[in-house]
Amino acid sequence: MSNILLLNKIAKVGTDIFDEKYNVSDNCENPDAIMVRSAVMHDMELPASVKAIARAGAGVNNIPVEDCAKKGIVVFNTPGANANGVKELAVAALLLASRNITGGVEWVKTLAGQEDAAKVVEKNKSAFAGVEIAGKTLGIIGLGAIGGLVANAAVALGMNVIGCDPYLTVEGAWGLSSEVKKAASYDEIFEKSDYISVHVPATKETKNMFCEASFAKMKDGVRIINLSRSELVNSTDMIKAVADKKVAAYVTDFATPDIIGVDNIIVIPHLGASTNESEDNCAVMAAKQLVDYLENGNIVNSVNYPSVVLERGGLSRCCVLHYNVPAVISGVSSAFANANINIEHFSNRSKGEFAYTIIDFNTELPEKVLENVKATDGVIAVNVIG
């Protein structure tokens, strides 16, 4: 029986994916895999039994991804599972940035109990007037699962949409409306957009991509939507840009202390994926990925190891997690050849510093041979599936 440790509450529709071969609990020893949402794992001492971690969501900032890779722990995420929920919030954010809805709602609350409230509203409503999004240019940075949906929704709402994504996949491009225009660079997005919505992960390259220098390239009165990560925006520079009216409105899903309560900055309490549907979709995807990895060794949607899927074709399967360096595969193959064990099926892929190899055999694998495989230079971990 395999143990699955839950670090957060995971939707039942996801945990129900695990059958009687699994023990799923928020308190189990020697877990084979971990499911997590927002729990921070950087200071967590991971048991040696852990083979995989599945994040029920897209971001993995709460997981020590590289350290896990060095320990042979595959980290999965669930890209696209919550995309529609975030897309719908992005559409709401576009409207919140355009119309002073939140300010107006809060003002109306002050009229509670006034018999002439309706007249007062009619007299003062012009103070909350805004602009329409139709006909305006929306620049989207990042056209993945979420950015692509936002682009298409904005087109349907009558906006002119331009997008930039140096890592756009062929599949992602096929999903885009033909009316979405390609921008040559982020600078073109900055220069041409009335609205900008960003949908990229937080990396060394994207940290503080919205700062004094980038604001200087933008139109006066630009409206910015950030539902991705707080680190993408230099908040000190953003506060100044809003005060100077360079940025007419900033809507974000991340409540950092310095921006809370600042005029024309609307802070949403991290609701991007907070829908019943998104939580269910993420839980199901995460659970299915863990099951396929633990039972078949297949990797799909890992952030630290390559995707490798091989149809089962033998009695035993050996899964080797290793560094992407010369001679590892030949060393592993030699360990089996020296024991007169024939390889039936084989698949290998690499991802940066790390690589993954699946090998099928029509025989059981002696422990001594597996010890020789584990001792091969560059091998991190070996998992055998019967």
Q: Encode pLDDT of 204-258 as tens digits.
A: 999 999 999 999 999 999 999 999 999 999 999 999 999 999 999 999 999 999 9
**What is the separation of C-alpha 190 from the centre of its chain, rounded to a whole number of angstroms?**
24
Question: What is the domain count for the chain?
Answer: 3
Region at 286 (left for phi over 0; alpha for psi -120 to 50; beta for the rest): alpha
204 & 242 share domain: yes
pLDDT at 136: 98
- Could you give the CA distance from residue 54 to residue 18 in angstroms, rounded to a whole number? 14
Q: Mean pLDDT over residues 81-88, rounded?
A: 94
In this model, does residue 310 exceed pLDDT 90?
A: yes
Confidence of residue 38 (pLDDT cuts 50, 70, 90): confident
Q: Encode pLDDT of 92-103 as tens digits.
A: 999 999 999 999
Q: Mean pLDDT over residues 185-201, rounded?
A: 97
Q: Encode pLDDT of 137-151 as tens digits.
A: 999 999 999 999 999
pLDDT at 17: 97
Give the chain's count of helices (H) and strands (E).
Answer: 13, 16
Q: Encode pLDDT of 48-70 as tens digits.
A: 999 999 999 888 989 999 999 99
Mean pLDDT taken over the chain: 96
Q: Percentage of the chain with pLDDT > 90? A: 94
9 & 141 share domain: no
CB-count burial class (<10 Å; 0-12, 13-18, 19+) for 354:
buried
118 & 219 share domain: yes
pLDDT at 134: 98
Confidence of residue 107 (pLDDT cuts 50, 70, 90): very high
Range of the domain at 240: 83-267
pLDDT at 58: 83
286 & 233 share domain: no
124 & 262 share domain: yes
Cβ neighbour number for residue 144 with a 10 Å cutoff = 20
E-strand stretches of the chain: 2-6, 22-25, 33-36, 52-55, 74-76, 137-141, 160-164, 181-182, 195-198, 222-226, 247-252, 265-267, 316-323, 345-351, 354-361, 379-385
351 & 374 share domain: yes
Region at 280 (left for phi over 0; alpha for psi -120 to 50; beta for the rest): alpha
Nearest to 60 by CA among 167, 201, 197: 201
Confidence of residue 314 (pLDDT cuts 50, 70, 90): confident
140 & 130 share domain: yes
194 & 332 share domain: no
43 & 88 share domain: no
176 & 102 share domain: yes
Residue 102 maps to which CATH number?
3.40.50.720
Q: Encode pLDDT of 258-301 as tens digits.
A: 999 999 999 999 998 889 999 999 999 999 999 999 999 999 99
